[in-house]
Structures are given as C-alpha cells and as structure tokens.
Amino acid sequence: MDEQKKIPRHVAIIMDGNGRWAERRKLPRKMGHAEGCKVLEQTVRDAADLGIDYLTVYAFSTENWKRSEEEVSALMVLMGFYIKKLLKVAEEENVRVKIIGERSRFAPDLVKGLNKLEYETRNNTRMVFAIAINYGARDEMRRGMIRMAEDVKAGKLEPTAITEQTIGSYLDTADMPDPDLLIRTSGELRLSNFLLWQLAYTEIYVTDDLWPDFNKEELQKAVDSFGKRERRYGGRLTK
C-alpha cells in the first residue's frame, strides 16, 4: 500500500484548551483564543499540504453561549477578524470553506462575513475546510429531522424509504464524506456533541497538547497513527 492511501480523506478536529493555555500563562482567556486562531490558520495549510481532502473543525459550539458574556463577546470579535484572514488563507491554498451549524443567531455583520467566506471560495478545489460554528450535533439532527418531517408531510418522502443515507442527506455535512480521523487536543476523552452521527466509525486520536500548542508535527503523528490502524466496518477488515 502506498503512502497516499494511508492519508485520511476527512479529518475532524476538536480544538480544545485555548482557555487553559492562557490561564497557565496568567493571560486573559481571550489571548488563548487569539493564539488558537493563529494555529488554525497554519493547520489549514498543513492539512492541505498533507493531501487531506476535508478538514472539519469545532470552532464554536451551541454550549459556548453559556460562557461569560465577556468571553463570548471576545470570541465574536475574534471570529469577525479571522474571517478576513481565513479568506486570504483559503484563496492562497485553493481551499473551499463551508460553514456548518446555525448561523442566524450571530450579528448581521458576522453572518455577512461567513456568507462571503463561503461564496468567495466556492470554486476552490484543493481541500474543503468546514467550520462548525454555533454547532451542536443534537441540534443538527433536530434541524435535519424537522426538514425530513416536513418532506414526509408534503408527500416528498415515504417514511418506509428512509435509510441511513437519507438521514445523512438532511445533515449539515450532506455533501461530505464521514470523517476518517478525529483529533482531540488537551487530553479530554469525549465527543462534546460534535458530529455524533458522522463519527460512528471514525478513528480517534487524542493528544495532551492544548490547541495553541498543536502543530504540523502533531498533525503528522495523528495521520501516521491512522495509517497504522486496521479498520473494521461491520466485521469487514480494511486498511
């Protein structure tokens, strides 16, 4: 088997530890988020260089609204600032950006920026970079099931015709393959309501590094670990 075949097609990342990184350095938590944004910029470039076709990151969850008003406000400002930087990175790296989650809760200017990020990069072909913003997997499934129920009610879909593929087609990631590899930073061993449907058969790699300390070497370690694993789908052994 050649090296290219060992590269996961789709990598998902739970970027955890920004706040702890800042606290350990006696810095405001917002400084950890700012540093984390810089690492994300570089990770997009590194993932594209490694030949990954899809990269999905957990940027802001539905639960993050419960954080302090000061921290949430700082995150919104950072998001608006880094949308412009990510557009530059995406154009330089020929990356298409896709936003998943429910964006309507954000301020109009931020929504406009997210929409522009998607639109301006729609024809890029090297890699798809999906950003989960105001995203929660249970909320994603709830929204998808509402649309499915509406289609059943309208006679567009027969209940007996619903398959796993049908359900997947109503999710935010409908046009993407399921992740092959999930990376979680900070050593936490939980999914945190991220891509619960899509991660059913995904390999998991956990690093103790906090997200601002994540780098290309750690990404390569995760990819190498994936390449060495024997994967089973319903009893069928694959590599």
Question: Catalytic residue numbers?
Answer: 16, 64
Q: What is the torsional sign of CA 74, 75, 80, 86?
A: positive
Rg (CA), the chain: 18
Strand partners, 135: 61
Cβ-based neighbours of 68, under 8 Å, separated by 6 or more: none
How far CA 104 is from CA of 40, 97, 108, 133, 135, in Å, comes to 24, 18, 8, 11, 11
